[in-house]
Structures are given as structure tokens and as C-alpha cells.
Copies of this chain bind each other. A is one copy, B any other.
């Protein structure tokens, strides 16, 4: 992640010199404040929205015209957000928000020092109305559904923000800005916009580039005049979360070509550099997130996130979150597990169990092979944790889809994989994936390990960057307009690539020279 050393904020607190009224200068209160602010900001363009006009005289007089003004710059004008007592020693704050469909993360940023002050996260309360995006879109179409989806999210955000500012001893009115990044549907639900057409041909969002919105218009209980920056979307399948990822990666500041990948139910891929960007998104299936496997679950206490197999004893060594007894496996653990099974020769290059290597651990339930990963006596549930052939097949389809998308986009721009200088992995989930395991199963290309850069929560990082800096804010709109979106045509060529990628690591093993299984079981 590259960053310019100097940050030009677009939300500013200033101390204008206001001469109190006299018979010699009976300029009106609002005009007086605007005049002083223009001088301090050295700008002719200072605007006061009407709802603020009513309250200004009382507050100006209360503080004896010794006030600070907080304003934001929208590229054409400074807009007054509020006035505060002159240099009261209290800061001004902003919120960066990752509008995840599963988890929402809120960061409190001190806009005077640019420092991150606190952070909180919570499950998206919309999960109640549907775990996946499609269910929520259908829910929104019901009578009052959209209002409920927006309302429950905003209300929870308000509660969490209130808790955050109380914990940090901050007044809610000193929270004067917000920046939020989410996928296209989450953005719509946050704004109370109907997502109906997002999932219906020809897939038209209500809006791609929302302007700055005052917090009061969204029902947010921060300073009512605070501007809310909502990340723009490219289209229905490529949202503001990805724009935030591109911003956070810094790939648009480099002449070398990078990949940015967000791994999830949808595999979202961006390739490009400072001159051009091409993006593509396709269904990878929920297998990569561990959502489908029998023992699969979201990361949490007792969830296996790392697996190794002792090649001498064929014993599974599992690491669980919080070191609790294992109760399931998350996506990164599953990728590890399948990679290890392959390296140990317990599955073949088609991903099928090799009976002679698996021995007693392989049992058949309803005619389907299951491998016991954790016996009941060691498990946190009292039941054995098993991985079925179906689970493996699902993961292989998902990893094949991911690799096919990467191949398709690099073929389209005619850039061979070995010319990729950086392979950024966006998203919290991506950070947990061991690139060696991902390469082993053929999910991502076999590049030098230092090429892989996990970025963590890039929605949050990008939102924070755009909240702090005008340049970053401008850049998200430049990024958005620069992206060429590649529509994936599931044609014969795609299907051929996909079929070739459904092997471990690939039918063409020369693409993965670093992967060396111990005597492939099927051979």
C-alpha cells in the first residue's frame, strides 16, 4: 500500500476571525460567519445549507462569536457542517465503515490527527432477513421490506457508534463525517434504494455514483450536517468494496502490473496498473468460504483454520481459533486440508479419495466417502468431524472457477502470469489463506511467494483513506471510471479452461512447478 506523504483533508476545522456585530458593521449573522470563513479558507465558495441557518445566530451569540467552523469541500464549494466553541480542545472525528453483508466494521478516526482511534465490528443485522444477498433483494421487494433492511442496519450502526463514542469520551456532534464501502447491493440497502433490478437482466443499479449525502438524510445519529461518502459502484457485480480494495492496494500508483483478488462467494479479480484497470467477477461458489462443507463454518472459536498432515504418521495436526477443541473448519482451513491431503497422496489429482492411503479414516456414509479429520474423542462437538467427497468436489469447482477467471482476464489483456509483479489478496478472509496451500490446489497461479500480498480488510482501509484525504476521495471516482469491466462469457473456451483447472493443481502440471506431491495416490 502506497501513500502520499502529505494528506489534504476534505473535512476541515477552522478558526475564522469573526468581528462581532456593531452599528458600524451590521452584516447578518450567517453572512458574517461566511465572510470570515471565506477569508480563512481563501475561497469565494462557502455555502450554508438552509437547516443550519436557523440555529447559527443563537449559537454564535452563545459563544460570543468566538467559534470554530467545520466544513467539507465537495470539489466546487465548502459546505458548513457545524460550528463549535473556539478551540475547545476537543477534536473532530469521522467514521470509516466496511458495509459487509456478513460483518460490518466501523473505525473511529481522529480527523485532526488522522489517527485511527478505535474500531468495532458486528454481524450485519440484515442476516436475520437472509444470509445471502439474493434473499435480501427478494426480502426488499416485500411490503416494507426495504425500509426494514435499511432501518435495522442504520439502527444497529447508530447503537455501535454511540457505544464507540462513549467508550472514547467523544461527543456525538463532533463526529462530522463518514465514509462507507460495500458491494452494490449493500450500498443500496444502506441508502434505502431498491435493489430489485440489480439481480434482474440487464442488471441495473439505482445509482453508481452517489453524491455526498448529509447524515441526517440517512437517519444516522452523528452530527446531522456530516457528509457521508458512499463508495461508487462499477455495476451490479462490482461494487464499492472492490473500489476500496483497489485504492487500498495502491496498484494504481505502480507501473508494474498487479492482480487484486477478493476471494468469496464471488471471485472478484482486477488486473492493471497506473494506466489501466480491467475487472471481472464470477461465481466461485461458497465452498471457498467454507460455507458448504459438512464441517464448514465461518471463522470463530474452535474453528480449524490451519491443517498439516504428518507425512510419516498420516496424523492431522489442526490449529483452531482460540485453541478450543475443534468444532468445524473455515475456508482457509479447508484449503489447507485439501492441499495437505493431495500432498500426502490421500486424494488424487481429480480430488478423489485414495482408499489405500486413507486407511481406517475413510468411512462410507450413505454411499459417499467421508474422511475422519477429528475423531469424536478429540472434537468439541462429541461427534467426529469428517470431510466428504462432495465437500472436496465443491472446493475443486470453486478453485477451478477462480483460476479460470484469472486465466481468462490475463488472456484477455495478453499478460502472462509471470509478468504479474504483485498478487494482492483483499478481504479479511483472504488474509487467512496460506498462499502455498492455495497454489498447491491450483487456485492461484504458481508465482514466487513474495508476490502474494494479503491486505486484510481493504473495504475498511479504503474507506478510511478516502475519509482522510481529498486525493484518495478523488481517486475512487477516477478508479471507478477507469475500470473496464470484462463480462464473463461462459462459452466453450471458458468451459475448456474450467475443465482443465478442475484437477489438482491443474491438467497442465507445468503451470505449477513448485507443487510436488509425495507419490500421487492415483498414479
Contacts and interface: CB of A to CB of B under 8 A. Distances in A.
Interface of A: 21-23, 26-32, 45, 47-51, 53-54, 56-58, 76-77, 191-194, 197, 201-211, 213-214, 217, 233, 235-236, 487
A184 to B, nearest CB: 9
A141 to B, nearest CB: 13
A210 B50 contact: yes
Q: 10 shortest A-B CB distances, which residue pairs?
A: A30-B207, A28-B205, A28-B208, A23-B202, A21-B204, A31-B208, A50-B213, A76-B76, A28-B207, A57-B206
Given A23-B202, A76-B77, A211-B47, A233 B28 contact: yes
23 contacts: A21-B204, A26-B202, A26-B203, A26-B236, A27-B208, A28-B204, A28-B205, A28-B207, A28-B208, A28-B233, A29-B197, A45-B76, A47-B211, A48-B207, A50-B191, A50-B213, A50-B214, A50-B217, A51-B217, A53-B206, A54-B192, A54-B206, A57-B206
A23 B202 CA distance: 5
A392 B202 CA distance: 82
Contact of A206 (B23, B26, B30, B201): B30
A58 B204 CA distance: 12
A53 B402 CA distance: 35
Nearest to A50: B213
Helix, strand, loop or mixed for chain A's interface?
Answer: loop
A53 B206 CA distance: 8
A460 B394 CA distance: 75
A23 B211 contact: no
A209 B203 CA distance: 45
Contacts of A202: 21-23, 26
A36 B236 CA distance: 20
A58 B202 CA distance: 15
B76 A29 contact: no
A58 B235 CA distance: 18
Contacts of A217: 50-51
A47 B204 CA distance: 20
Nearest to A236: B26
A51 B210 CA distance: 11
B203 A31 contact: no
A160 B50 CA distance: 25
Contact of A28 (B26, B51, B77, B206): B206
Given A22-B202, A236-B26, A207 B53 contact: yes
Contact of A26 (B30, B77, B213, B235): B235
B204 A53 contact: no
B29 A206 contact: yes
A31 B194 contact: no
Given A207-B30, A209-B31, A201 B50 contact: no
Contacts of A30: 206-208
Nearest to A203: B26
Contacts of A49: 211
Contacts of A76: 45, 76-77
Given A22-B202, A54-B193, A54-B194, 9 more contacts: A21-B204, A26-B204, A28-B207, A30-B207, A48-B211, A50-B191, A53-B206, A53-B210, A58-B194
Nearest to A206: B57
Nearest to A25: B202
Contacts of A29: 197, 204-207
Nearest to A34: B209
Nearest to A22: B202
A233 B27 CA distance: 10
Contacts of A209: 28, 31
A348 to B, nearest CB: 40
Nearest to A33: B207
Contacts of A77: 76
A27 B236 CA distance: 9
